[in-house]
Amino acid sequence: MPLIHTLAHPGTEGLLPTVIALHGYGSHAMDLVGLHPMLADGRLLVLCPQATHRIEAGAFSFSWSGKPEDLRANPVEIARAATEVLAFVEEALERYPIDPQRLVLLGFSQGGGVAAHAALAAPERFAGLVLLASSLDDERIGELHAAPGAANLRTLIQHGANDATIPVTEAFASSIRLQALGLQPVLQQFPMQHEISHESAHSLSDWLIETFAL
């Protein structure tokens, strides 16, 4: 069954540069779709799938990790979620007007760990990888494996200098971990907490415009 998702379409015809955005722990599919007008002046297709594990009955909050006693950190489930996301990408390519040469995978917080697993497993599928307020710590996401071609994957890491949920030191650790796998991530930090600010979104937009050659 495909992942529940929402989308924002720029209203133009033809194949579109696309961002697939994975929400963080405790959030939902609608959380990141609001980025659409801030990215490349709204010229992108933005798809936002929703994690399958509901955190609490009756609550509209979800986790990419399904371990009941610790929904925040379960490497096995994070890797499984990455497989689900890759299946979603293939379905989306058939269903929506995605330019397959201009597709970026983005993850916020817990979604970043899922995005990293997915993009490194299938780097030929993506033009870029974006990690926002994320951690690639072994205890959170397990071991990362880079398939051939991963070194060519454009990668952006953004983090808040005042993030109390995932300290900014995790961003530097993630950068080092990706460099060890052959990638050359761009690391940016901003005066914000565990969030996406107007300043960071503007910088993300510039990076996407460059990545998509818009």
CATH number for 102: 3.40.50.1820
The whole domain housing 79 covers: 5-212
Say how many C-beta atoms besides its own lie within 10 A of residue 202's C-beta.
12
Q: Are 132 and 110 in contact (CB under 8 A)?
A: no
pLDDT at 105: 98
What share of the chain has pLDDT > 70, as a percent? 96
**Residue 36 contacts residue 22 (beta carbons within 8 Å):** no
Q: Are 16 and 103 in contact (CB under 8 A)?
A: no
CA distances (Å), origin 102, targets 79, 98, 161: 24, 8, 30
pTM for the complete prediction? 0.96
State residue 149's pLDDT score: 96
Alpha-carbon distance of 29 to 48, in angstroms, equals 5
Helices and strands per DSSP (H, E), number in the chain: 5, 9
User: Which residue spans within 14-141 are E strands per DSSP?
Assistant: 16-22, 45-49, 53-54, 62-63, 98-108, 128-132
Residue 57's pLDDT band, with cuts at 50, 70 and 90, is confident
Q: Considering its fold, how many domains does the chain have in total?
A: 1
pLDDT of 194-209, one tens digit each?
Answer: 999 999 999 999 999 9
